[in-house]
Amino acid sequence: MLTVLAEIRELLAQPDNDYSWSSFLDNDAALEEIDAIVTEIQSTGHAPLMLRVLFAPTGPIQEVAISSGWGETFLVVVDRFDAAWAAGQ
């Protein structure tokens, strides 16, 4: 799961991302949320359930991906997310 989050963080960190359709206020807010989740996983060993919302269809990450031109890449990453989630992270 941490590998998937590192991948998505890298994508969210791109300077030209469009956050207008997502629930993230901006780039900094998105990265702060991902970083907080990574910290939680590292300290507890478990991913929070709300992570499923971030990766959901039409969820905030997909909205950024589509608006920013990396929608196809997101679909590849979300497949890895789904596999990690199913495996218990």
Q: What is the pLDDT of residues 33-72, one digit of tens each?
A: 999 999 999 999 999 999 999 999 999 999 999 999 999 9
Tally of residues, the chain: 89
For the whole model, what pTM was predicted? 0.92
Eight-state DSSP code of residue 22: S
User: Other C-beta atoms within 10 Å of 72: how many?
Assistant: 9
pLDDT at 89: 57
Tell me the pLDDT tens digit for each residue of 2-42.
999 999 999 999 999 999 999 999 999 999 999 999 999 99
